[in-house]
Amino acid sequence: MDSYEQLVKTLKELSYITSTLAILEWDEQVYMPVQGAKVRGETKAYLAGMLHQKFTSNDFAKQLKAVKALAESGKLNDKQLAIYKEIDRQYQRQKKLPLEYVQEISKVTSEAHHKWAEARQKSDYKIFLPYLKKIVELKKQEANYVGYEGSPYDALLDAYEPGLTAAQLDQIFAPIKDFLIPFIKKIKQSKNKFNSRTIISKYPIDQQAAFLKILSEKMGFDYQKGRLDTSAHPFSTSFHPEDVRITTRFDEQDVLSAITSTIHEMGHGFYEAGLPVEHFGTPLAESISLGIHESQSRVWENQIGRSLSFWKYFYPLLKKQFPKPFKLIPLRDFYRAVNNVRNSLIRVESDEVTYNLHIIIRYELERDLMEGKVKVEDLPKLWNQKIQQYLGLKVAKDSNGVLQDVHWSGGAIGYFPTYSLGNLYSAQFYRAARKALSKLDQQLESGNFKDFREWLRKNIHQHGKLYSAEELVKKVTGESLNSKYFIEYIKDKYSKIYNLK
Ligand code: ZN
């Protein structure tokens, strides 16, 4: 066996541990009884430690070094080189973090998570404050260990969206802010509003589940290679491209909640299922970045799943499942209910128009925290100011403001922007897909989702990490990531819905 083959064999072995961890995590959220939590935590910590140990061992370093020699003498092909470069990138980042640091942040965030939950429940920021302070300090340390050129924030962002910087984000987000703030005001003032409460009714959960089965099968979710289950917070995971898991949750009064979240998670699932099986265990069978992953869920949830064409096909089927609530609601009105702009204080309840402003607020605050321009003590005040300024809303209590999201308590600083990047990538990809598939609207209207799904697989999924996000976007759309297509999409769609000039 040559040194390249040896490295791939080791990577495969490591991926068995990663998959096992994912199974434990999935089970924890879907099936595990409450009392199982303690030993599950220990089991996961043990396996995570084992993974870390193997990845940073001398033996692994030797294998990597041998492949480096092959890379430098030009003996690797493009795919082999991509695998080596990505593993080396991950390895270098891991190696820069001292073991004491890794243990410390894991300890602090696990305590902080409980304190955050308590603080949110009591709407009392003071409970969370000392923990968040500690996390911000540790994250500054992490940035110093990892190293950066521009902002310390770059070092953290790199963990989720490799290669992207705060300076680039500023450039990408500026036009969105300029467009959205006045656009949302116009929507608020529009007289052409639809009262989405008219679709609030009673939708028995077993009937919702039956509809989701029909919907997911028609859309192409393969139940031979995946499962759909229920959990408190919908998520997706995969243990292998041929074993993909997605979850949803039901709201008895609001049928759209489970439908939209299932379509979203299915989009993630299609990506995982579309990764090349033959490269399992290597970066070539992994998603590029969180932003690209999110683009796959958003494009199905929003561009497809909230389109009129999509509902021309599915609304009759939904009406068949729930004849009573929808009897007097024509498709046009239902379409407007699906695209209702809510302007909520809560990120996860917001719509595709207001969503990015929620993210920009979080991004600006966490960037300023990392750059030392903002104090952790001042976060609630600054948060509320920005919500007022960007969305015109008043935050009455911190549980609906700065305390609403779990991310910071887990040390995930630099994560939020990937949600917005997903929205932007999805609009840009969708435009390219529409160019390539000239009959897309007719296809959706007749329940043909295969051509679009295949387009995504061929252009995005099948490459795994062969390209960087930047390279992929250029290859697929001919341009770098920019906000133009998202703005165009929102402006066009919602000007029609709200009858705006
Ligand atoms: Zn998602």
pLDDT category at 45 given cuts 50, 70, 90 is confident
Q: How far, in Å, is the centroid of ligand 1 from the Cα of 213?
A: 20
* CA 83/CA 458 separation, integer angstroms: 20
* CA 295/CA 428 separation, integer angstroms: 9
Q: Chain-centre distance of CA 484, in angstroms?
A: 21
Q: What is the per-residue pLDDT across 427-486, written as a single tens digit (0 to 9) for each?
A: 999 999 999 999 999 999 999 999 999 999 999 999 999 999 999 999 999 999 999 999
Q: How far, in Å, is the centroid of ligand 1 from the Cα of 406?
A: 15
Has 104 been annotated as catalytic?
A: no
The pair phi, psi for residue 33, each rounded to 5°, is -70, 155
Instruction: Please give the structure tokens belonging to residue 185.
Output: 């005001």
249: exposed, middle or buried (Cβ count in 10 Å: 0-12, 13-18, 19+)? middle
Residues 6+ apart with CB under 8 A from 130: none
C-beta of residue 308 within 8 angstroms of C-beta of residue 330: no
For residue 281, give the DSSP letter. T
Instruction: Please give the structure tokens belonging to residue 167.
Output: 């300076």
Can you give the pTM of this predicted structure?
0.95
In 3D, which of 101, 17, 3, 102 has the Cα closest to residue 54? 17
Neighbours of ion ligand 1 (CB under 5 A): 297
Does pLDDT of 380 surpass 80? Answer: yes
Q: How far, in Å, is the centroid of ligand 1 from the Cα of 272?
A: 12
Q: Which of 142, 161, 265, 301 is catalytic?
A: 265
Q: What is the per-residue pLDDT across 62-86, written as a single tens digit (0 to 9) for each?
A: 999 999 999 999 999 999 999 999 9
- Collect contacts of 257-260 with beta carbons under 8 A, ≥24 apart: 258/208, 258/212, 259/211, 259/212, 259/215, 259/305, 260/301, 260/305, 260/306, 260/338
* CA 477/CA 466 separation, integer angstroms: 17
Residues 6+ apart with CB under 8 A from 161: 289, 290, 291, 414, 417, 418, 421, 469
Q: How far, in Å, is the centroid of ligand 1 from the Cα of 461?
A: 16
pLDDT category at 110 given cuts 50, 70, 90 is confident
Does pLDDT of 166 surpass 90? Answer: yes
